[in-house]
Amino acid sequence: MKIGKEIIQVGERKRFQLEVASLYDYTQLTIPIEVICGKKEGPVLFISAAIHGDEINGLAIIKRLLKRPILNRLKGTLIVVPIVNVFGFNNRSRYLPDRRDLNRCFPGHQQGSLGSRLASIFTREIVNKCTHGIDLHTGAIHRYNLPQIRASLDDPQTKALAECFGAPVVIHSRIRDGSLRESARKKKVVTLLYEGGQALRFEEEIIEVGLSGCLSVMREIGMLPRSRTQRPKSAPAIQIAQSSYWVRAPHSGSFRLSKKIGEHVEAGALLATISNPFGHDPHDVRTKEPGVIIGLSKIPLVNRGDAMIHVATFKKSKRVKDSGDFFDQ
Ligand SMILES: [Zn+2]
């Protein structure tokens, strides 16, 4: 395996920095990478985090994963990239210095802008060498997400991995133009996007679900030996959502939530009440369709039309089981 100038031999574990850009003062900017090359052949998996620089739960997932002794028994190659958008990370920002979103710059271009070049290097040096990928995200700043997998469920292999990850909700999600996931899919790299929690936090539940998900995927594709302990029977069923919608504020004001993340809601259920500064003039915020709450705004202040609550919907109208016990915030 060769990444940038580094050569990683069979059976070797190597940590290095990949040069991606030069700053105004000519400081070289680099992305930290660790590669574990197993002694036996197998899949090549990348696990990336902080493509949005302030989404750092994935960094904690990778830190914990790398401490696992089971990695000594790895088949194939694991490439971990705990911080892809190093600019945003150091500035605690989602974006690149020119306010571009790196996850809209893929596959990138060698002669393009900063984001496009970074995406191009990542595609060439990492994605193109892989058979599988997991991209770790969180909700945007001041948004909180239930742990969830987003993937193109049209592809049976992707669907099987999405389910084996073990997050409480899997969402069939259309590909976004310019995203790492789209670019990887075009190269036939089976890729999942894990998303959970909020930006600029290390959140224990999100990290644990993400860590066990990465390990499950590695077992499923034959990189790690299968665990003797199966998924416990008491574990809540994974729900596969066909789509999702945002409930928007019907009025400006401050609000109080009536439901929690992960809760099942019926059509017309009361989600929140918006009122004026004296607590009067209440406006109910209600669901349109039944589903499960998978995302919330953490700022209790809204203008009319602002996205407040994200609800995943399910194909069959039958009642879906609460995810609340799986994840109680
Ligand atoms: Zn993100």
- Cis upstream peptide for 300 (omega within 30°): no
Residue 230 lies in a domain: no
Q: Are 128 and 261 members of one domain?
A: no
Q: What is the mean pLDDT of residues 53-68?
A: 98
Q: What is the mean pLDDT of residues 246-272?
A: 97
Residue 18 lies in a domain: yes
How many folded domains does the chain comprise?
2
pLDDT score of 142: 94
pLDDT score of 177: 84
The mean pLDDT value of the chain amounts to: 92
Q: Are 270 and 250 in contact (CB under 8 A)?
A: no
Of 220, 254, 289, the position where a domain reaches its end is 220
Residue 329 lies in a domain: no
Q: Are 18 and 131 members of one domain?
A: yes
Q: Are 199 and 92 in contact (CB under 8 A)?
A: no
Q: Are 77 and 216 members of one domain?
A: yes
Centre of ligand 1 to C-alpha 230, Å, is 31
Q: What is the mean pLDDT of residues 103-125?
A: 96
- Percent of the chain beyond pLDDT 70? 93
Question: pLDDT per residue over 186-200, tens digit each?
Answer: 999 999 999 999 999
Centre of ligand 1 to C-alpha 150, Å, is 11
CATH number of residue 51's parent domain: 3.40.630.10
pLDDT score of 323: 43
Q: Are 169 and 260 members of one domain?
A: no
Beta bridge partners of 32: 17
Q: Which of 163, 151, 150, 166 is nearest to 209 (CA)?
A: 166
Centre of ligand 1 to C-alpha 239, Å, is 22
Centre of ligand 1 to C-alpha 60, Å, is 15
Q: What is the pTM of this model?
A: 0.93
Q: Are 300 and 256 in contact (CB under 8 A)?
A: yes
Q: Are 300 and 158 members of one domain?
A: no
Of 175, 204, 220, the position where a domain reaches its end is 220
Q: Are 196 and 286 members of one domain?
A: no
| Distance between CA atoms of residues 70 and 164, nearest Å | 19
Q: Residue 262 is part of which domain span?
A: 246-313
Q: Is 75 exposed, middle or buried (0-12, 13-18, 19+ CB in 10 A)?
A: middle
CATH number of residue 305's parent domain: 2.40.50.100
Q: What is the mean pLDDT of residues 61-71?
A: 98
Q: Which long-range contacts (CB under 8 A, 24 or more apart) does 110-116 make?
A: 114/21, 114/87
Centre of ligand 1 to C-alpha 179, Å, is 10
In the structure, what pLDDT confidence band is assigned to residue 319 with cuts at 50, 70 and 90?
very low
Q: Are 24 and 160 members of one domain?
A: yes
Q: Are 167 and 290 members of one domain?
A: no
- Separation in Å, CA 250 to CA 126, 245, 304, 311: 45, 15, 5, 16
Residue 318 has pLDDT above 50, yes or no: no
Centre of ligand 1 to C-alpha 36, Å, is 25
Q: Which of 77, 75, 102, 76 is nearest to 89 (CA)?
A: 102
Centre of ligand 1 to C-alpha 277, Å, is 33
Residue 55 lies in a domain: yes
Q: Are 173 and 250 members of one domain?
A: no
Q: Are 142 and 200 in contact (CB under 8 A)?
A: no
